[in-house]
Structure 1
Amino acid sequence: MRFSEAWLREWVDPPLDTQALTDQLSLSGLEVDAVEPAAPAFSGVVVGHVQSVAPHPDAEKLRVCQVDLGDGEPIGIVCGAANVAAGQRVPVATVGARLPGDFKIKRAKLRGVESNGMICSASELGLAESSAGILVLPADAPVGEDFRAFLALDDHCIELDLTPDRADCLSVAGVARDVGVLNRVAVREPRIEPVPAGSDDRVDVTLAAPAACPRYLCRVLRGIDPRAPTPLWMQERLRRSGLRPISVAVDVTNYVLLELGQPMHAFDLAKLDGGIEVRMARDGEELALLNGDTARLRADSLVIADAKRAVALAGIMGGADSAVGDATRDLLLESAFFAPAAISGKARSYGLHTDSSHRFERGVDPTRCVLAMERATALLQGIAGGTAGPVVAAVSEPDLPLPPTLHLRRARIAQVLGLAFDDAAVTDILSRLGMTLTAVGDGWQVTPPPARFDVQLEVDVIAELGRVHGYDRIPVTHARSAAATRAPLEMAYDPQRSRRLLLDRGYYEAVTYSFVSPELQRLVDPDAAPLALANPLSAELSVMRTSLWTGLLQALRQNLARQQTRVRLFESGLRFRQAGAELMQEPMLAGAIVGPVLPEQWGAVGADADLFDLKADVEALLAAAGCAGEVAWTAAAHPALHPGQSARIERAGKPVGWLGSIHPSLAAALDLPVSVQLFELDTSALSGAPRPAFAPLSKFPSIRRDLAIVVDRTVTFARIEDSVRSAAGDLLRELVLFDIYVGEKVDSSRKSIALGLILQATSQTLTDDEVAAVTARVLDALRADVNAQLRT
């Protein structure tokens, strides 16, 4: 919410400067996000009166103007603007003036004609990004007055970053009400009188969806001047609130939106066919919107329709076919209350976000429709003329929201805030907030005003007492309780240790959205049914991820597209999987790598990272968690991983993760190289590793025996390792795999494995006979278990 400080002070003017006012707003829960000057610094600009305009003798596009500055003889100014005309009041930068950008005005000759200043456009004064000509001021602008003073440009634009629950402050009226309460200052609301009907013109209204729209008002306004200019004071208030002036009808409805918080819309009456029906859209019905898009509507969307078609997406955006244009003379004004539940999420589902939807989603005061209609009618008639018909109202009383009646207890106030309020203070604060109080034995029955959709519980009322009293004035108290502490499990999984380990190994941490594209989700994990969001941010972020790979692959693709040839990313976070009616939120750690093993350098031959490079990183993670020895690597298929180049990671027979190369079809779909390597671990399954225990070092020398065996190509090293360790017993200190050979000297269906057995006893030096016996047992076990043959 952005507004002018000067506009706010017309409503309520506490004895505070700008800094104190904004500090007070932030401390009361209305966080001030920015305070900016209403106009950039400039000086020496006054209001001038153009007395005459003559062609330049030597330049077709220049004109010589005689301008009265109110201090003597008119001065000559050469102007190139096509819209300059005699009789206009204009801003004039006099000789010596300084404009934005530190541009100094000097006396000059333009094509031989002396120019003693410059007639300014809005963009030259920093009041607009671009201008088609000079800025023309109202005819009653006082000649000679300082232009900054005339437009009150020594003002500030205040921008609030409101939380969704404070929709009541999405207007100058709402902020003024809060400022008045905080400072015990009266709020001066503008006097809004009902505009009497000057004709019987009316449009009938039918509420076909009363639960979604329990109140709808409309009014015919005939004979307006469509070319009437929006007054400069209104244009300035819109500009300082971040809105661009468009046309008188649009500007007035925007002004009422900012002033009272009630969204309105103006239809071109000549483009409507018959009466107005507020109904749900027909599935597949199309509506051309004001922004140039065409929306294909769903049956859950509320629309405003005439006898033939939908003409507006209710509470969000009007239709192009009924839009007000330069030739519009007859209007139909709309002011309505749409239920928040009917509008919430609909704008985002169509890729839209408007000032109207922002307010209706959070809740608009259902009682302000009539006041806004009268305000807009009076402003339009005062600017563009016209004859108003009667206000036509369609209301479904049972469907209008009723504020709850809440029981506020004195004891509960002290318990929550740690501060005792006397009855007079409670009554004063809540009454100034617009709440109705009735005293009961232990407190009050409180009814909040219709605009306060956020006050639904007793604690909400107490929060209002604390907010208005001042959070900084609530004394600090410390709870007295027996604090029970619990030491962390010694062998619990440590996410920070894993994070540091991956950073040390050259990875970068990524943080991606938990909600992802359904299409990408199906590519990565087609077997899992993701949870669809009820109100997604966009269609590309509409389901919850079932794997961290979805976000990592997108990040990987973006890095590669930016010429990063060596990428190593990891992410820790939750994945979301449905187990029946329950949603499982599982902590995961995932990574993705692509590109050379080492950064480019002269001392090593470049080679792309493969599956085994990533496996080394994962084994380091498992070792850091203390469970590397309990993990088995099982060849298995995963939809996102390359067949034959993927492994399921298991612990105690249960899957704890996956590792492998990306599947070629997935790589092609995402335009990624097939050399991408992926891993994902369920970190909740990595806790509970055996506690490390000290073992005394042997005083006796170790002995190494190397064996070369030939086995089938399908035999894994894990099976060989299990067989060797089982046969060698306690004497085996270390088993080293130092060579794998496949080639001409070995059968094509088999491979040669070279093993190093390091043997050592704790009580004696091993003899040759003892070593030979262990070696023989190992060979016998390998023959029996994996059909191994000793290679000679």
Structure 2
Amino acid sequence: MQFSEKWLRSLCNPAIDSDALCHLLTMAGLEVEEVEPVAPAFSGVVVAQVVSFEKHPDADKLKVCRVDVGQGEPLQIVCGAPNVVIGMKAPCAMVGANLPGFAIKAAKLRGVESFGMMCSAEELGMTQDHDGLLVLPDDAPVGADIRDYLALDDRKITIKLTPNRADCLSLAGVARELAALTDTPLTLPATPAVAPVHDAVRPVRLDAPEACPRYAGRIVRNVNAAAATPEWMRQRLLRCGVRSISAVVDITNYVMLELGQPMHAFDNDKLAGDIHVRMPRAGDSLELLNGQTVEPTAGSLLIADEARLLALAGVMGGEQSGVTNATRNVFLESAFFQPDAIVGRARALGFSSDASHRFERGVDFALAQIAMERATALLVEICGGEPGPVQVAEVADKVPVRQAVAFRPARARQVLGIEVADAAMQAGFERLGMSVKGDGAQMWVTAPSYRFDIAIEEDLIEEVARIVGYDNIPPVAPQAGIRMLPLPEASQSPSRVRRTVAARGYQEVITYAFVEEVWERDFAGNTEPVRLANPIASHLAVMRSSLIGGLVGTLASNQRHRADRVRLFEIGRCFVRNAAAVPVAGYEQPVRLAGLAWGPVAHEQWGQASRKVDFYDVKADVEHLLGDGASFEAAVHPALHPGRSARVSLGGKTVGFVGELHPAWVQKYDLGTAPIVFELELDAVLARQVPQYSEIARLPAVTRDIALVLNSDIPAARLLAVLKGASAEIVRSIEVFDVYSGKGLEPETRSIALRVVLQHTERTLEEQEIDQAVQALITAAGEQLGGQLRA
């Protein structure tokens, strides 16, 4: 919302300077975003009138003018402006004047003396829609300082409003706030009823009263639509960022800016029969004032007559029924539209309008007839005309009603942390236009019709804070007792997990939760991802169900920057369809930890030979995160190389996967060589194993090596599980140290060599019990897996 400070001060003029005024508005929630002068500083420019002119003897485009500047004898000024005519009034910079960027001196132009300079708007640092001198009204006083005459010491103030403060989208709204904050008198424009001089009316039918419960219309006959807009009105419109179009349109825009009520003017001679406020019908089409032809969608509120559509209600009028300079009879419209009926309609058509910006946030439902009288008075004053009676159509039970809100002064003091007297709160509410009943422990406060944002007690407490002034509320740090909460020993925090993964050489990344749909198909096999209703970019249209895509995309970016070794990890939320999921029905949102390793195991160095990272390097990282209870089983995953990938389980439950990226995706994403990736459920990583104390043996351990021949399809992890289940108390550990297949073994078999460590904490083991313990292992392998001791 941009407005003229001078216009604002004509409604409410507190005894504070411009900077203080802007600070006050900002601290009241009306953030002043920008303040700029109407024109830059200059001096020595007056209103002048061209008395006569003749062509320059030595220049075709120059004229030698005689200019009256109110100082007796006219001045001779050489001017090249194309719009110079005898009798016109325009700004003239006298000798000695200082204009933006240069000073005016007496000079000779092609041999002819010139004692000043006639000025355009651009030369004064202003703007104008056409070239040439700035043309001033005929009644401009010759010799007057142009800064005073055009009020160029004015400033344009732009405030950034939150959507709930639509009441301040007008000068009257901002002035009401300023008056309440400073306890300064408020002088709003008088809006007495304009007496009708004829009885012609156009009936209005509210066919959609839920969307439009109140509509006012008035016929004004014999209007001079070609009349010029007064300079004072043009200035105010321009300084509010609104371009002057024609007198009738300018008047409706002026009333909108002044009071906050958008209005529209139709050419009454182009209308047929009654006015209908209705919803769309099959075949409806409308050409708007911006030249765009639309076919209204369901739910779009329309203004129509008996023959055709006239306007998109609350958004923009139609081209075929709009006023022109030839218009003689005008039908003025002023209505209240429910915000829900207007919101999003203009945006769906790819544009915005001042009317829709206001209606979709909420316009005062009691303002329609007041604005009608104000607009009629201005129209008759500027364009003449004969007004008829105001025709108001209304469905009373659909018009909003402001309910009284209970307010407890003691509660306000408790929330704000300051002492404010009950009487001061009541006075503040009344200055804001609210009615107050009751006193003491509880008040009942009713907001005015223009305040859509007062519904609960907290809204009123906020009003108290605004009236007191946020900068007058002392900042007091909250005080509370701090209690140390117990942290289960068997769990760890995500930050600890991050430090653990980083300590193993990985770098954390944070990628978008919305990803390319092709990533979901390639890396998760997901053909039905969760789709975004309004993606920030067309290619980021779905939510991720795996973190792998983001890591691969980051790897590709690093490769393009010549990185030769990459270690990445991310902890993030994924999004998966699940009909039984809670708290969001139909969607599960697990948090996962994923990692990626690519390139050599270590940076190039003299201490070890360079080799590429492989499955077992990353498997060791996963084992470090999950502890000894993790098991790995060959499995197929859409993102991974068949035969080089494994399912990760913990306590019999699958918690993730690890493996080499599928060759097809390595080629598709131009990675060169395959990275090794893993993805784990974060909850499984957070639940760590607690170390258990065991007595340290004082006696040496005994080692036995055995080799068992088993079918090749039996994994070593299964063999170890069987042996550990059959281990005697003296067996301390069993580890695989060799695997062999080939000559000397049957096809489809392999030999797994194991090292068994045996030890007792208090005595030396005897050979017999050692042999029994080892034989128990061999027997268990034979009975459960068909294993035999290798000869």
Whether the aligned pair in 2 keeps the contact of 1:493 and 1:683 (CA below 8 Å) is: no
Matching of residue 375 in structure 1 with residue 362 in structure 2: no
Further displaced range: 649-658 or 39-48? 649-658
1:460 CA displacement: 2.4
SS in 1 for 2:466: helix
Whether the aligned pair in 1 keeps the contact of 2:39 and 2:126 (CA below 8 Å) is: yes
Post-superposition CA distance 1:765-784 (Å, at most 9, x none): 99xxx999999999999999
CA distance in 2, matches of 1:547, 1:487: 33
Q: Which residue of 1 aligns with 2:52?
A: 52
CA distance in 2, matches of 1:610, 1:225: 86
Whether the aligned pair in 2 keeps the contact of 1:590 and 1:679 (CA below 8 Å) is: no
Residues 1:652 and 1:592: Cα distance change in structure 2 (over 3 Å): closer
Q: Which residue of 1 aligns with 2:168?
A: 169
Residues 1:445 and 1:106: Cα distance change in structure 2 (over 3 Å): same
1:366 CA displacement: 0.4
Residues 1:423 and 1:329: Cα distance change in structure 2 (over 3 Å): same
Q: Which residue of 2 aligns with 1:583?
A: 584
Which amino acid letter does the alignment assign opposite residue 46 of structure 1? Answer: V
Q: Which residue of 1 aligns with 2:30?
A: 30
CA distance in 2, matches of 1:648, 1:697: 35
Further displaced range: 195-204 or 498-507? 498-507
CA distance in 1, matches of 2:323, 2:623: 67
Post-superposition CA distance 1:455-488 (Å, at most 9, x none): 1123322332232133444567788876644245
Residues 1:734 and 1:197: Cα distance change in structure 2 (over 3 Å): farther
Whether the aligned pair in 1 keeps the contact of 2:210 and 2:338 (CA below 8 Å) is: yes
Which amino acid letter does the alignment assign opposite residue 39 of structure 2? Answer: A
Residues 1:196 and 1:657: Cα distance change in structure 2 (over 3 Å): farther
How do 1:272-291 residues align onto structure 2 when only pairs under 5 Å count? 272-282=271-281, 285-291=284-290
Residues 1:629 and 1:594: Cα distance change in structure 2 (over 3 Å): closer
Whether the aligned pair in 1 keeps the contact of 2:520 and 2:549 (CA below 8 Å) is: no
Indicate the structure (1 or 2) with the bigger Cα radius of gyration. 2
Whether the aligned pair in 2 keeps the contact of 1:404 and 1:447 (CA below 8 Å) is: yes
CA distance in 2, matches of 1:176, 1:45: 33
Whether the aligned pair in 2 keeps the contact of 1:454 and 1:460 (CA below 8 Å) is: yes
Q: Which residue of 2 aligns with 1:231?
A: 230
CA distance in 2, matches of 1:326, 1:279: 29
Post-superposition CA distance 1:497-552 (Å, at most 9, x none): 56678887455534567xx999999999966585887xx69997999946487996
CA distance in 2, matches of 1:292, 1:663: 55
Q: Which residue of 2 aligns with 1:13?
A: 13
Residues 1:667 and 1:316: Cα distance change in structure 2 (over 3 Å): farther
SS in 2 for 1:277: strand
1:20 CA displacement: 2.0
Residues 1:377 and 1:510: Cα distance change in structure 2 (over 3 Å): farther
Whether the aligned pair in 2 keeps the contact of 1:121 and 1:135 (CA below 8 Å) is: yes
Matching of residue 135 in structure 1 with residue 134 in structure 2: yes
Matching of residue 76 in structure 1 with residue 85 in structure 2: no
Which amino acid letter does the alignment assign opposite residue 92 of structure 2? Answer: V
Q: Which residue of 2 aligns with 1:160?
A: 159
CA distance in 2, matches of 1:525, 1:316: 46
Whether the aligned pair in 2 keeps the contact of 1:39 and 1:127 (CA below 8 Å) is: yes
1:687 CA displacement: 2.8
SS in 2 for 1:460: helix
SS in 2 for 1:583: coil
1:716 CA displacement: 8.1
CA distance in 1, matches of 2:169, 2:382: 25
Post-superposition CA distance 1:163-183 (Å, at most 9, x none): 222222222211211111111
SS in 2 for 1:393: strand
Which amino acid letter does the alignment assign opposite residue 39 of structure 1? Answer: A
Which amino acid letter does the alignment assign opposite residue 25 of structure 1? Answer: L
Matching of residue 424 in structure 1 with residue 423 in structure 2: yes
Whether the aligned pair in 1 keeps the contact of 2:273 and 2:306 (CA below 8 Å) is: yes
CA distance in 1, matches of 2:75, 2:305: 58
Matching of residue 145 in structure 1 with residue 138 in structure 2: no
How do 1:397-408 residues align onto structure 2 when only pairs under 5 Å count? 397-408=396-407
Which amino acid letter does the alignment assign opposite residue 37 of structure 2? Answer: P
Residues 1:397 and 1:564: Cα distance change in structure 2 (over 3 Å): farther
Residues 1:305 and 1:530: Cα distance change in structure 2 (over 3 Å): farther
1:302 CA displacement: 1.9
Q: Which residue of 1 aligns with 2:355?
A: 356
1:222 CA displacement: 4.3
CA distance in 1, matches of 2:290, 2:520: 31
Residues 1:735 and 1:438: Cα distance change in structure 2 (over 3 Å): same
TM-score when scaled to structure 2?
0.76
CA distance in 1, matches of 2:384, 2:512: 57
CA distance in 2, matches of 1:702, 1:116: 116
CA distance in 2, matches of 1:317, 1:740: 83
Which amino acid letter does the alignment assign opposite residue 360 of structure 1? Answer: F
1:148 CA displacement: 2.9
Whether the aligned pair in 2 keeps the contact of 1:704 and 1:758 (CA below 8 Å) is: yes
CA distance in 1, matches of 2:189, 2:787: 97
The unaligned stretches of length 5 or more in structure 1 are none
1:300 CA displacement: 2.2
CA distance in 2, matches of 1:108, 1:704: 114
1:573 CA displacement: 5.2
1:398 CA displacement: 0.4
Whether the aligned pair in 2 keeps the contact of 1:510 and 1:569 (CA below 8 Å) is: no
Residues 1:643 and 1:54: Cα distance change in structure 2 (over 3 Å): farther
CA distance in 1, matches of 2:192, 2:156: 29
Q: Which residue of 2 aligns with 1:366?
A: 365
Which amino acid letter does the alignment assign opposite residue 176 of structure 1? Answer: A
Whether the aligned pair in 1 keeps the contact of 2:170 and 2:256 (CA below 8 Å) is: yes
Whether the aligned pair in 1 keeps the contact of 2:92 and 2:118 (CA below 8 Å) is: yes
Post-superposition CA distance 1:159-215 (Å, at most 9, x none): 322222222222221121111111111111122233333444433211111011111
Q: Which residue of 1 aligns with 2:447?
A: 448
Whether the aligned pair in 1 keeps the contact of 2:615 and 2:676 (CA below 8 Å) is: no
Whether the aligned pair in 1 keeps the contact of 2:520 and 2:546 (CA below 8 Å) is: no
